[in-house]
Structure 1
Amino acid sequence: ALKNMFLTSSYREALLILDNVALRQATEAFDVGCKTLITTQVKDIIIGNNSIYVEVKGGFTQEETVQLFAKSLRTDVSNLPLLQAVKIHNLCKGEPILISLIGSLLEPYKEDLLNSHNLWDYYIKKLTSKDYNLKTQLFDTISICIERLCPELRELYYNFSVFVEDVNITPQVMQTIWNLDNLYDVHEQMRKLQNKSLIVSYYNQELKTFVYGVHDLFLAYLKEKLGCVTLVAQHKTLISAYKRVSNNNFANLPNDNYIYQYIGYHLKEAQCYNEFSIYFDLKFIGAKIKAIGTADVLRDFQLYKTYITRNDNDLLNKLNEYINFVKARGHDLYKYCDTDIIQSGLGQEKESTIYKAALSLAKEEPKSLYLQLQAPQENVYFTHTLDLQQDVSAACFTFDVDQVLVGMKSGDINLWEQSRNHKLYVFAGHTDSIIYLQLCPDRNGFLSVSEDGSIKIW
């Protein structure tokens, strides 16, 4: 009866998806004559001579995606517009389900796709803008995959709804959210989800661990599926989980390469507005700076100003004091591991909010030694530190006091805007270390000397 149904005109061009098949009997039972996409860990269950095998290692490579598109259109890879095909691969982030579904949608338009770029560009535009005419088909496919999960695993997967797009999720993050005893349990659950093509993973050499990701479309589906009320509850669950592991003290949050960067976002989405008082907690600010640097702290101060100050003028003045303190002392706190934010705070003016907060914290730690070393007010100054990735060999101010020319040992000369710690331009031409920079008196250029004796006028 099933085979007869798929032979009718209504279903002849249907795509049948068999997910995580383990038995040959299943593929034989569903061999009904229509196009079939099978995901499996057992290659021997595939029957028939017209089968196309694609081995998936986490996600499709660019080459695998292009080959799948070529096979869907029954043509050679050389006949495809590779630029557009690769662009679709990148937008899908190698997700096998999405790429396979798009491949099946391309098939009926073979002539248009091989003779013109218009339809390719149409799909690229829709995927880029996330204005999907394909939304129904894509969400239906995602829904089928998720609903086939066992109830326990499905609930775990719903927890991914709290993440923003394009974020790397470490196993430690999910261990906290899922409240699992060890990382092996996390990897086991992640393996199950990856086998269903619901997440992707790769090994991060810098972090020395696997990191996981969820495609934007899957996140969009989860957010739409759960709705606003449930999403708020999911964010509250995350906040509660991190409170548990930090003993209700956000200054003791684990450095899991995630939470210090996104704590403000989750507090806002969880509607935990009273918790924004942590941005006046020196220990939390110090821990956040140590974990991810000053730029993110300053960004949070601006991004969540309304929640931090509650439009109160006194709190707004207090926030401005914290901003100036982080600008002045944050770089040293981040750069030098032995620096302490309480000691830095004790170096501020005695009437300042920062000093009073630091003094209060110092008194709570009688076994720690802190020194009260205030500089005279007339000698208090702010420093600007440029975070350069290369070795510096020369530098000078320009006629604009906010811009600095920096000569590098590589021979490049960089123009920096110091207030924003932003590189404006690179003057390339020297091949040896820059040893001298001099501005022209007419303000229209400068002179540079490199170690090999060459002189250039810019």
Structure 2
Amino acid sequence: MEECSISRLRLYSKEINLDDFIDFAIQTGVLNKDSYCEIWSKPEKHRLDKLFYKVVEKGCSYVKLALDYLNEKVPNINEIINDEENFRKSTIRGNFPKLPPHYVKRESLASVVKQHLQELTWDQPLVIHGMMGYGKSCLVNEVLHDKILRKCFDNYIFWINLGEHQNSDNILQTMLNLYTRACDSPNKVYCPEDILDLKERLKQLFLESRLKNALLILDDVCNTEVLKLFDIGCRTVITTQDKNILRNEAVHLVEVKSGFLLEEAMELFKLSLDTKKDLPVVAEEVYRTCKGHPMLIALIGSYLSENKTVFSMNDDQIWEYIRFMFSKGDYRLNDFDDDVRIPSEKIRTCVDQLLSRKELKSRYMDLAIFMQDVNIPPEVLKILWNTTITDVMHTMNKFAQKSLVVPFYHSNQQRFIYGVHDIHLKYLKEETKDHIQEIHKRLIDNYDLLINGNYAKLPDDNYSFHFIGYHMSEAREFAKFEMYFNLEFLEAKIRAVGKDDVLTDMETYRDLITGKDAALDTKLNHYKEFIRKHGANLYNFPKTSIIQYALQEKKDSCIYDTAVAYAKTSPRLFFKFIRSVSEDLDEFQNINIRDDITCACFVNSVKHILLGFSSGKIKLFYERYEKEISSFAGHSSPIKNLIISPDKSHFCQLVRKVW
């Protein structure tokens, strides 16, 4: 009798408010001060059940009072119970996978998917597309936990995982399982003659009135041939990494492009730790380290759940450990946990399924040479693969459609650039570790062919000048590092990426540039100081010359000697200083001018300079001021020449050469 009463009361467990029911229990005398304190001493999830026992202990009359109260609060309890039973049957019959234990709802995506499901028709499937491990399946599963939404499909929803079916060779049993689960007589024996015969049987089955609103979920689809076998005239949801899986058909498409939001990740971490208190700041840094990738967030959640006790004693230290491991791309948080290799294993399976062509897979492996968080322009891939830009775009578009790379449209450059997610890049580096040096060397060799060994002629593609040192180092082309003493190369690199990048390279690759030779080390220090002084002007003013700056160096300087040798063989005009130059070049004032100068002359002294411009303007500058001290107008034609009168009080301007 007692258990029967408890069972009846428990029917209301999910529908009632604990605080309201406690108020009722106090008013009716079920609870006194001691029993109230006893209930609140229990964990939150056990309090209501303990209160039900208190009601039963008071006797049948109190049970009746409680049931009357609950019926008044939840008058549709029978309907709710019926819905719960239908939900249970639907889940078991449909072979639904379980959601992760600490799943957090992704509100914005869930609302979009729910809207599409409510409007779904049999002739236009819903495709959920996104990168592996981005939670596509969990998203669909979570949305379909809505009992009201399931009623749209009469609670006939069938979940089929097609991830392991790369072709139709072993699909027969999967199709037969669907037929058996959907059939109203599951004990009925059916032996299909072939796959096509079974497909026709499924079509006829889903024409029955009880299945007319049924929903088919085809999870992790990677093969078009297999997908067509489940085209049985039923409303369908498809999750896939391959955007082109239904490229010639009308579909509703939902893109899962991003991972967890910060708030969602923090909520999952809290659930994993079974806590409501705020997490330390370093937890947010862990989130940023893994960029919210759902697979990695879930991996962290699992680790947190297994180590709750440790975390309660030393929060910050464990979070720092997770951040350290993830920052170096090591997801093995527990050396004794075999599941930590899942990310790499899943990616390997994914790549094998999606890239069946050997050449395409080889090109994907080539992406291992790029650094983390680096945008990859198509021009570099053109050089690496020795092909055309069009071919590069076709290849990268294929990878993007299969969620193996992420394309970004750069509006300023009016082109697509590409990125590889950290966990994919880690996998690529693991797969190519025995021959990655050869890939780097292939890129360097192809650069050499393109520029004939003159690294000042590297393409200005927002990549090559940035990372040429990195690729030479990884290719072990150490002899090429002498280019960091080449003034032409340094000028080109500064113009492309700025002086700071050059200085960083000089420090990063110091041992490779100098070969640990003391004399070359001193020489490199001189070059670094030279770049610090003049790099900003070289970057900001395209018409400046590194050779001209080098000719301002002390005459016993190696930089000066290099500049003189270059100037003697160059067709360009350079100037030597006729006065001695002190060691401190900061005494020479730069006058920053961006306009097109056509002529110049000194006035009273070398500190006053008169400049003529292509616009027809004439301006007088003094070396201690960045702006002109006088300006003269009157012509719109370029100033060809300026002549100062002997007494320095007047000047003559020439705008046209007559003879």
| TM superposition score category, shorter chain reference | 0.5 to 0.7
How far apart are 1:18 and its partner, in Å? 3.1
Task: Please identify, of 344-353 and 265-274, the stretch whose mean Cα deviation from structure 2 is larger.
Answer: 344-353
Secondary structure of the residue aligned to 2:163 is: strand
Q: Does the Cα contact within 8 Å between 1:92 and 1:215 map onto a contact in 2?
A: no
CA distance in 2, matches of 1:103, 1:320: 45
Distance 1:382 1:105, change over 3 A: closer
| 1:36 partner letter | D
Query: What is the aligned partner in structure 1 of residue 394 from structure 2?
Result: 188
How far apart are 1:161 and its partner, in Å? 0.9
Distance 1:56 1:233, change over 3 A: farther
Query: What is the aligned partner in structure 1 of residue 366 from structure 2?
Result: 159
| 2:585 partner letter | Y
Is 1:177 aligned to 2:394, yes or no? no
How far apart are 1:223 and its partner, in Å? 1.5
Q: 1:244 aligns with which of 434, 438, 449?
A: 449
Q: Does the Cα contact within 8 Å between 2:165 and 2:171 map onto a contact in 1?
A: no
How far apart are 1:287 and its partner, in Å? 0.4
How far apart are 1:354 and its partner, in Å? 0.9
Secondary structure of the residue aligned to 2:374 is: coil
Q: Deviations over 1:145-181 (max 9, x none)?
A: 2224110011111111111111011111111111112
Distance 1:310 1:91, change over 3 A: closer
Distance 1:20 1:88, change over 3 A: farther
Q: 1:331 aligns with which of 523, 536, 544?
A: 536
Q: 2:491 aligns with which of 286, 290, 296?
A: 286
Secondary structure of the residue aligned to 1:377 is: coil
Aligned residues: 356
How far apart are 1:211 and its partner, in Å? 1.4
How far apart are 1:56 and its partner, in Å? 5.5
Distance 1:274 1:85, change over 3 A: closer
Unaligned runs of 5+ in 1: 1-6, 74-80, 386-458
| 1:292 partner letter | V
Query: What is the aligned partner in structure 2 of residue 352 from structure 1?
Result: 557
CA distance in 1, matches of 2:382, 2:501: 24
Is 1:258 aligned to 2:463, yes or no? yes
Is 1:378 aligned to 2:523, yes or no? no
Secondary structure of the residue aligned to 1:202 is: strand
Q: 2:163 aligns with which of 18, 38, 56?
A: 18
Query: Taking structure 1 as the reference length, what is the TM-score of the superposition?
Result: 0.64
| 2:581 partner letter | Q
Q: Does the Cα contact within 8 Å between 2:469 and 2:481 map onto a contact in 1?
A: yes
| 1:60 partner letter | S
How far apart are 1:85 and its partner, in Å? 12
Q: 2:329 aligns with which of 102, 120, 130?
A: 130
Q: Deviations over 1:81-100 (max 9, x none)?
A: 9x999988865557xxx64x
How far apart are 1:206 and its partner, in Å? 3.3
Matched-pair identity in %:
31
| 2:163 partner letter | L
Query: What is the aligned partner in structure 2 of residue 405 from structure 1?
Result: none
Query: What is the aligned partner in structure 2 of residue 218 from structure 1?
Result: 424
Q: Does the Cα contact within 8 Å between 1:328 and 1:384 map onto a contact in 2?
A: no
CA distance in 2, matches of 1:383, 1:32: 86
| 2:535 partner letter | G
Distance 1:219 1:195, change over 3 A: same
Q: Deviations over 1:234-292 (max 9, x none)?
A: 11111112112212111100011111111111111111111110000100000000001
CA distance in 1, matches of 2:588, 2:436: 41
Q: Following superposition of structure 1 onto structure 2, how do residues 48-67 of structure 1 map, counting pairs within 5 Å?
A: 51=237, 55=253, 57=255, 59-60=257-258
CA distance in 1, matches of 2:469, 2:361: 27
| 1:170 partner letter | P
Distance 1:51 1:302, change over 3 A: same
Query: What is the aligned partner in structure 2 of residue 207 from structure 1?
Result: 413
Is 1:36 aligned to 2:222, yes or no? no
CA distance in 1, matches of 2:172, 2:446: 43
Q: Does the Cα contact within 8 Å between 2:377 and 2:416 map onto a contact in 1?
A: yes
CA distance in 2, matches of 1:105, 1:320: 47
Q: Deviations over 1:114-166 (max 9, x none)?
A: x99x89x9897565563324542111111122224110011111111111111
Q: 2:350 aligns with which of 140, 145, 156?
A: 145
CA distance in 1, matches of 2:171, 2:512: 55
CA distance in 2, matches of 1:104, 1:66: 11
Q: Deviations over 1:312-354 (max 9, x none)?
A: 1221121111111111111111110111111221222222111
Query: What is the aligned partner in structure 1 of residue 195 from structure 2?
Result: none
Secondary structure of the residue aligned to 1:262 is: helix
Distance 1:165 1:298, change over 3 A: same
CA distance in 1, matches of 2:588, 2:467: 26
| 1:382 partner letter | D
Q: Does the Cα contact within 8 Å between 1:172 and 1:256 map onto a contact in 2?
A: yes
| 2:423 partner letter | L
Q: Does the Cα contact within 8 Å between 2:495 and 2:538 map onto a contact in 1?
A: yes
Distance 1:380 1:143, change over 3 A: same
How far apart are 1:28 and its partner, in Å? 9.7
Secondary structure of the residue aligned to 1:212 is: strand
Distance 1:374 1:230, change over 3 A: farther
Secondary structure of the residue aligned to 1:382 is: helix
Query: Taking structure 2 as the reference length, what is the TM-score of the superposition?
Result: 0.46
| RMSD of Structure 2 on Structure 1 (CA) | 4.8
Q: Deviations over 1:164-205 (max 9, x none)?
A: 111011111111111112x22211100111122111111123
Distance 1:103 1:350, change over 3 A: closer
CA distance in 2, matches of 1:224, 1:274: 27
| 2:380 partner letter | V
| 2:445 partner letter | S
Q: Deviations over 1:388-413 (max 9, x none)?
A: xxxxxxxxxxxxxxxxxxxxxxxxxx
| 1:253 partner letter | L
Secondary structure of the residue aligned to 1:164 is: coil
How far apart are 1:221 and its partner, in Å? 1.3
| 2:391 partner letter | D
CA distance in 2, matches of 1:106, 1:350: 62
Q: Does the Cα contact within 8 Å between 1:84 and 1:124 map onto a contact in 2?
A: no
| 2:382 partner letter | Q
Query: What is the aligned partner in structure 2 of residue 422 from structure 1?
Result: none
Rg comparison, structure with higher value: 2
Distance 1:86 1:238, change over 3 A: same
Distance 1:56 1:207, change over 3 A: farther
| 2:330 partner letter | D
Query: What is the aligned partner in structure 1 of residue 8 from structure 2?
Result: none
